[in-house]
Amino acid sequence: MFPMLFGARHSNHFKARSANRDAEIDLGRAASILRAIEKALEDTKAEHAGLRSRIDDAIARAAVTAGNNPDEYLTREPEDNHLQNLLGTEIATGQKRLNELDVAITHFKFLQTDLMTRFPDLKLAPNAGTS
């Protein structure tokens, strides 16, 4: 009865893939995860650099409108006060995001290191570079 269940199969015994092929497939899966982590790390670093540049620009603009006299705020035009408040908010929001990106970069680096530790042959896998 069992041979009938398997229909057109010519062989009645189970065949598994070779251990080398299994290892290659496992390594390929790990390599795709590594590439995704590296892409996320690269994108996060690029966002961090761009944001840092924009924050530096906002700080420079805030310094120009603030003036350089210690009592400048007493005689500042209302428009300049408003601009100072807007720039201060922009800078604070940007700094908060920079801190979040710093944490994300640390996490991605940890994931990268952990994956490389658990799959030591991953360094030799095709298409798996490290940053």
User: pLDDT for 103-116, tens place per residue?
Assistant: 999 999 999 999 99
Q: Give the mean model confidence (pLDDT) for residues 80-93.
A: 84
Q: What is the reported pTM?
A: 0.71
What are 30-81's pLDDT values in tens digits?
Answer: 999 999 999 999 999 999 999 999 999 988 888 777 666 665 655 667 776 7
Per-residue pLDDT at 9 exceeds 60: no
Cβ atoms < 10 Å from Cβ of 44: 18
Cα-based distances in Å from 33 to 25, 26, 50, 85, 97 = 13, 11, 26, 44, 26
Per-residue pLDDT at 126 exceeds 60: no
Cα torsion 71, 76, 82, 84: sign: negative
Asked if 94 contacts 51 with a C-beta cutoff of 8 angstroms, the reply is: yes
Cβ atoms < 10 Å from Cβ of 31: 21
Confidence (pLDDT) at 61: 81
Confidence (pLDDT) at 29: 93
Residue 75 to residue 86: CA distance in whole angstroms? 18
pLDDT band at 10 (very low <50, low <70, confident <90, very high): low
Q: Nearest CA to 23 among 131, 120, 128?
A: 120
Residue 100 to residue 93: CA distance in whole angstroms? 11
Confidence (pLDDT) at 109: 97
Per-residue pLDDT at 12 exceeds 70: no
Q: Give the mean model confidence (pLDDT) for residues 75-100.
A: 85
